[in-house]
Structure formats: C-alpha cells, structure tokens
C-alpha cells in the first residue's frame, strides 16, 4: 500500500505580493556589467531590447518590487505551488531523512519558467511592445513565453537549440499550438546564425548561440524586445516567489531544512529558491544551499569567475560570472536547459562567497534516481530537475550513513512529459 501523502499547501491569499531583491543583501556588491571595451554598462544601453521596468529591476538596489495585479492574477492560476513529502522515495531509498519537493511542474508550461514569463510579457505589453524574440534550450522557457504571449497578447518567436528541437519535437508542437513561431538555431535569419553555420555546418547549436540570434532579432526591430528565461537579475527576482512560498510552507509544516537543492543551468530556478534565504543564512541559519549542475557543462564547479559574454556572438554585455567560455560546446545531454556556458551573476557571487555549494551530477545514477522518483511519486521529472532530485537523494543517503537524518528540500522545476526521449534512451541502455 502506498504511504499516505503529506502536502503543505497554501491558500491563494498567501501568494507573495512582492518580489524579493537580493542585490542589497549580497555579501559583496555585484560587479558591474561591462561593455566589450571594459566600460560599465549604462541602463540606456539596454533599452533597445528591454522595457524600462525590467531594466530598473535588473539594476536597482530597491529591496522589494510589488507584483502588478494582472501578473498576480495570472500567477494565481497555479500558485501557490504545493510542497510535497516524497515519502515513497524515502522508503525506497531506506532513509530516515524527510525529502520534500516544491512542485513547480504544475504551472501551465509545466515548469517554473512561467513565473517570469508572465511578468516579462506583462511589462513588455505595458511598454507598447508587439513582439518578443527569445531562445530556448529544452523548450521549457519557449513554452512558458509562448503561453505568456497568449496571456498578454504578444507575438512570440523562439530560436530553439537545434539538438533539443531534434530530441523533443513535441515541444515545437506545443509552442506552435500556443501561437508561437519556432525556428531551429542556428537559423539562416540572423547574422549570428549564418556565421555559426558557415563556421561549423554540423553544429548542434548552443543556448549561447540561440541567445545571440534572439538578441539580434530584437535589436533590429523597433516593435520587438528580447526576453531571457534565466541568468539575469530581473529573472531571478521574478523567481523569488518560489523561495518566498517555501518560507511560509516551512513555517506551516514545521520543516527546518538542512539542505535546499535545485538544479542550475542559467540560475533562475536555483536562485529563485535560494536567494530569499540569504538574509537568514547571513544571520547564522544552518541551511546548505546546493546548486546541482551537469557534469558535462560544469560552469560553477569547473568554470572560472570572469567577465564574459552571455551569448556566443558577443552581443550581450559582459557579465561577472562563472563561465566555461562563450565558445564552450557542451555535449548533447538531454537536460537541454542546463547546457549553458555561464551562470547567473547573483548565483556566481553567492558561490564565490561560499554561501552556495555547487555539485556536478551525471552518469546513469541520474536517471536511476529519476526512475525511482517516477515509480514512487508518479511524476516524470524533467531531466533538468532530475539533477536536483539525484543530489537530494545522495544527501539523504549521506545523512543516513552519518546517522543524522534531517529535512532535505528540492525544487522539482518541471515535469518531463515532453522530454521522454531522455527516458527512452535510459530504458534502452540500462
């Protein structure tokens, strides 16, 4: 018989009304973004591709930003998201620790990406923009922005990394169904795309290159802005709704977390979970923040801290972050959302200060833990989220061995129903 399920839910009235800005609370001020010739980036330089409200959120030291009412109403369609105890998983692992997951897969797009997509679409619409250009790796972000485009009446074009498009054709179908145009990146429609194809006709594409294409698209059309699904401060800001809800759920459920775990690609899911806990950790709270990244694209554990471009073509500002270099070509892993050479400047600063511990996860145990989760919790995790759940399982086993069971919380950032080729490969191999 299945173990009884425990879920900490919050009423709609408990949805946070503002986003938390970690910038003023960072251990050290964030280093400025730089132009290619080493000058600090000025806000007006970002105006060709971002609306003013998002530029302010990117750079401001204001401690909080109110969530606009139409965004709140939209978030209320699926938020607050549940925090569920994975009792079946605990039993299967044979651990006494409690393992909890914050289930962001219940959003319309099936991932946490909808949290910022709705906000970005709202601000762009309010600024009179008609059309958004963006990139997507595994497709979670492109799906989220396509839906947000429908919600706030904007046209959306998505440059999707070629290898991900081939692995996950269903993603294109969903984005098309949601009214978006989807192109394989590199495409022939941009200078950056044509150059990449000329240099390497067989390229699988990368997130960095798809970003170049979308930025070029947006910069070349006055009716179009660019929209980014991760990395930048304003994206993490919108995702803080995750960590803020977690705090309330910990209180409501009597949970004292020892570990907070999320996967890390560009950093929005991890940052959204983690940064609301920065003030209490600075005040001495014993919470370990674990960023689970893929072994094959280990920007936090193996990259160097430097100013580097956010994209492959060098069209973006240079960001202070851990980076494998803008030309790094990650292998064709299924967790397409984690195939990024760089990292969020905020998360990078927290790693540099020692407040966040990155861990690289890979190999067959990744999908073994994901399968165990599927069979005990009846949810197919996204390959990205599988990194977090594998790290959480390993922590639970470590605590068991040390005889010190605790509370481990991870973010299930998305479901994997549109990433099944990953599981097919796993089932056929092991």
Calpha distance 124→52 (Å, rounded): 9
Kindly state whether residue 182 participates in binding a second copy, applying the rule CB under 8 A. Answer: no
Backbone angles phi and psi of 358, in degrees to 5? -85, 145
Q: Which stretch, 74-82, 95-103, 294-302, 351-359, contacts a second copy (CB under 8 A)? A: 74-82
Binding residue for a second copy (CB under 8 A) from 95, 174, 236, 237? Answer: 174
Binding residue for a second copy (CB under 8 A) from 170, 314, 362, 405? Answer: 170
Nearest-approach distance from CB 96 to a second copy, in angstroms: 22
Kindly state whether residue 108 participates in binding a second copy, applying the rule CB under 8 A. Answer: yes
Calpha distance 317→46 (Å, rounded): 9
Kindly state whether residue 147 participates in binding a second copy, applying the rule CB under 8 A. Answer: yes
Q: Cis peptide before 54, with omega less than 30 degrees from 0? A: no
Kindly state whether residue 205 participates in binding a second copy, applying the rule CB under 8 A. Answer: no
Calpha distance 180→227 (Å, rounded): 14
Binding residue for a second copy (CB under 8 A) from 65, 141, 152, 259? Answer: 152
Is-contact 93 393, C-beta < 8 A? yes
Instruction: Find the angle CA(29)-CA(51)-CA(206) to the nearest 5 degrees.
Output: 75
Strands 259-263, 318-323: parallel, antiparallel or unpaired by DSSP?
unpaired
Residues 6+ apart with CB under 8 A from 147: 108, 109, 114, 117, 178
Residue located via tokens 């009304």: 17
Q: Which stretch, 22-30, 150-158, 295-303, 316-324, contacts a second copy (CB under 8 A)? A: 150-158
Nearest-approach distance from CB 183 to a second copy, in angstroms: 15
Nearest-approach distance from CB 349 to a second copy, in angstroms: 35
Q: Which stretch, 43-51, 102-110, 295-303, 340-348, contacts a second copy (CB under 8 A)? A: 102-110
Binding residue for a second copy (CB under 8 A) from 66, 73, 223, 327? Answer: 73
Instruction: Find the angle CA(71)-CA(72)-CA(75) to the nearest 5 degrees.
Output: 85
CA distances (Å), 127 to each of 154, 173, 190, 238, in order? 12, 29, 25, 18
CA distances (Å), 44 to each of 48, 51, 227, in order? 8, 10, 17
Kindly state whether residue 279 participates in binding a second copy, applying the rule CB under 8 A. Answer: no
Kindly state whether residue 127 participates in binding a second copy, applying the rule CB under 8 A. Answer: no
Is-contact 196 329, C-beta < 8 A? no
Binding residue for a second copy (CB under 8 A) from 77, 91, 96, 304? Answer: 77
Kindly state whether residue 76 participates in binding a second copy, applying the rule CB under 8 A. Answer: yes
Q: Which is nearer to a second copy, 178 or 289 (CB)?
A: 178
Nearest-approach distance from CB 141 to a second copy, in angstroms: 15
Nearest-approach distance from CB 156 to a second copy, in angstroms: 12
DSSP 380-405: -B-HHHHHHHHHHHHHHHHHHHTT--
Structural element, H or E, at residue 93: helix 87-93
DSSP 279-296: HHHHTT---EEEEEEETT
Strands 98-103, 224-226: parallel, antiparallel or unpaired by DSSP?
unpaired
Kindly state whether residue 364 participates in binding a second copy, applying the rule CB under 8 A. Answer: no
Binding residue for a second copy (CB under 8 A) from 27, 39, 61, 176? Answer: 176
Binding residue for a second copy (CB under 8 A) from 379, 389, 392, 399? Answer: 379
Q: Which is nearer to a second copy, 249 or 348 (CB)?
A: 249
Q: What is the DSSP letter of 152?
A: T
Kindly state whether residue 424 participates in binding a second copy, applying the rule CB under 8 A. Answer: yes
The pair of structure tokens assigned to 173 is 């179908």
Nearest-approach distance from CB 93 to a second copy, in angstroms: 16
Compute how many residues bind a second copy; rule: CB under 8 A: 38
Nearest-approach distance from CB 125 to a second copy, in angstroms: 8
Binding residue for a second copy (CB under 8 A) from 140, 376, 385, 413? Answer: 376
Contact residues for a second copy, defined by CB under 8 A: 1-2, 4-5, 70, 73-74, 76-77, 106, 108-110, 147, 150-152, 169-170, 173-174, 176-179, 371, 374-376, 378-380, 417-418, 420, 423-424, 427
């Amino acid at each position: 018989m299945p173990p009884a399920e425990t879920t900490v839910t919050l009423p709609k009235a408990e949805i946070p009304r503002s986003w938390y800005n970690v910038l003023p609370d960072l251990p050290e001020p964030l280093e400025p973004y730089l132009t290619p010739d080493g000058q600090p980036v000025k806000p007006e330089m970002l105006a060709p591709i971002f609306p003013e409200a998002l530029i302010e959120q990117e750079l401001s030291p204001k401690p909080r930003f109110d969530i606009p009412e139409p965004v709140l109403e939209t978030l209320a369609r699926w938020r607050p998201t549940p925090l569920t105890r994975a009792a079946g998983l605990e039993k299967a692992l044979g651990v006494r620790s409690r393992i909890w997951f914050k289930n962001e897969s219940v959003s319309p797009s099936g991932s946490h990406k909808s949290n910022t997509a709705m906000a970005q679409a709202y601000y762009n619409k309010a600024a009179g923009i008609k059309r958004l250009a963006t990139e997507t790796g595994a497709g979670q972000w492109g799906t989220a922005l396509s839906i947000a485009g429908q919600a706030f009446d904007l046209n959306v074009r998505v440059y999707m990394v070629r290898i991900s498009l081939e692995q996950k054709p269903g993603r294109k179908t969903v984005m098309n169904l949601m009214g978006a145009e989807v192109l394989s990146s590199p495409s022939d429609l941009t200078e950056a795309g044509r150059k990449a194809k000329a240099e390497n006709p067989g390229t699988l594409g990368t997130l960095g290159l798809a970003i170049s294409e979308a930025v070029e698209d947006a910069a070349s059309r006055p009716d179009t802005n660019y929209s980014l699904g991760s990395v930048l401060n304003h994206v993490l800001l919108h995702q803080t709704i995750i960590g803020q809800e977690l705090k309330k759920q910990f209180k409501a459920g009597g949970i004292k977390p020892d570990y907070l775990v999320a996967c890390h690609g560009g950093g929005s899911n991890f940052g959204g979970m983690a940064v609301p806990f920065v003030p209490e950790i600075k005040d001495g709270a014993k919470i370990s923040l674990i960023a689970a990244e893929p072994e094959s694209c280990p920007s936090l554990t193996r990259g160097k801290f430097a100013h580097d471009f956010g994209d492959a073509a060098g069209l973006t500002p240079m960001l202070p972050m851990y980076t494998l270099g803008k030309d790094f070509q990650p292998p064709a892993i299924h967790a397409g959302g984690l195939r990024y050479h760089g990292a969020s400047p905020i998360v990078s600063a927290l790693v540099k200060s020692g407040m966040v511990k990155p861990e690289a996860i890979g190999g067959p145990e990744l999908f073994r833990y994901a399968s165990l989760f599927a069979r005990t919790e009846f949810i197919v995790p996204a390959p990205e989220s599988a990194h977090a759940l594998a790290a959480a399982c390993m922590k639970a086993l470590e605590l068991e061995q040390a005889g010190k069971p605790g509370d481990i919380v991870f973010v299930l950032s998305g479901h994997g129903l549109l990433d099944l080729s990953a599981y097919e490969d796993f089932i056929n191999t092991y």
